[in-house]
Amino acid sequence: MKTNHYNLQTDRRKFLKGFTFTLGGTLLGMPLLSHSMDQHIGNLAYEAGTSQTGSQQKKKMGIALVGLGQYSTNELAPALQETQHCYLAGVVTGTPSKAEAWKKKYNIPDKNIYSYDTFDQIANNKDIDIVYVVLPNAMHAEYTIRAARAKKHVICEKPMATTLEDAQRMLDACRENGVQLAIGYRLHFEPFHQRVMELGQKQVYGKVKQIEARNSSDMTDGSLDVWRLNKQLAGGGSLMDLGIYCVQGAIYTMGKPPVAVTARYGEVTKPNYFHSVEQSINWQMEFADGVKAECNTSYADEENLLSAKAEKGWWRLSPAYAYEGKKGETHEGKIDLPNIYEQVRQMDGQAHSFMKNQPSIVPGEMGLRDMRVLMAIYESANAGGKRVEIRYGG
């Protein structure tokens, strides 16, 4: 049975309300890198499961979904029926039939439905506080910047952009307009991955010695006409879409970004699918203390792993990245944590930070940092495996 995110069942379990997993009261702070200097935004807490009722209840923040593809349809919109701090207030789509269907299904007022041409009018809509950009990667920059100019907070799906220049423009636009930018990194809000952060960063089993991360999903049993196989829209292939989870996993295991990478493209076995983007890529991330993360991603395979070895033990998540069905173990036994409705926890956490005018635990600076890593991986692979040092400043 496939566990990848292109073949998920849409019948979802109810979100485990009231479940709180905060690693001693807070989510572990992550080293974040801005456009000019390294910044550490640590100990930003979001205590999931807390709520208020009656007159004490805070106003829910209205979210407009931009792009009504599979992820919005099957994951985000249903999740927004369960959230406590935000709700589905509007949509942006270029397809009139979708607009009508969503209007009826979710009782969305006509005034909260926009096309891409009328999108900028969202600035005048007090119902909408947050714009969630769920478009092909190459469109992230345009709609993040337009949303920022409309004075709306932004959640942007990963990867943040397709170029470093676009990622920087997105950050600049949000800063200039006084709005927050968060990236759709749902796993920072998820119990199994929070446990990995704790094990690695708090050195529960001693210092991390080695990391392995693999994330692959077979794209060769479907249509050739999908945007993820179009470099102009996707910016790349499996690395941009799936490999970014491996980059993220290694970084939050260590609690710091890599200093260098080496990478090589895998063999192309399905050239009819992969003439525009890479089919697979293998890379090694090198950290300042000598720890190395061995990573792999492919659009023609099925793998789903995040594991690490430390001085006094080991841990492993597999499946690690799919929306449901996560399993984990350490050398001491099973990691006994619940599988939650991740998009509920993610959007509630992001809305909560926006309400408090605090940076998200997954801010735009983190997205830019990861773009630097992704671009270095491509640079190394294009150079036949040359070691590439990563520079995070300026």
Residues that are catalytic: 158, 245
Are the beta carbons of 209 and 311 closer than 8 angstroms? yes
Give the CB-side neighbour count of residue 22, counting CA atoms within 13 A: 15
Dist. CA 347–CA 75, nearest whole Å? 11
Q: What are phi and psi of 305, to 5 degrees?
A: -145, 140
Beta strands in the chain (DSSP E): 30-33, 38-41, 61-66, 86-92, 113-114, 130-133, 153-156, 181-183, 208-216, 260-265, 280-286, 292-298, 303-310, 313-317, 328-330, 333-334, 388-389
Query: Mind giving me the DSSP string for 67-116?
Result: --SHHIIIIIHHHTTT-SSEEEEEEE-S-HHHHHHHHHHHT--GGGEE-T
Give the CB-side neighbour count of residue 174, counting CA atoms within 13 A: 26
Of 132, 30, 140, whose CA–CA distance to 371 is shortest?
140
Are the beta carbons of 133 and 66 closer than 8 angstroms? yes
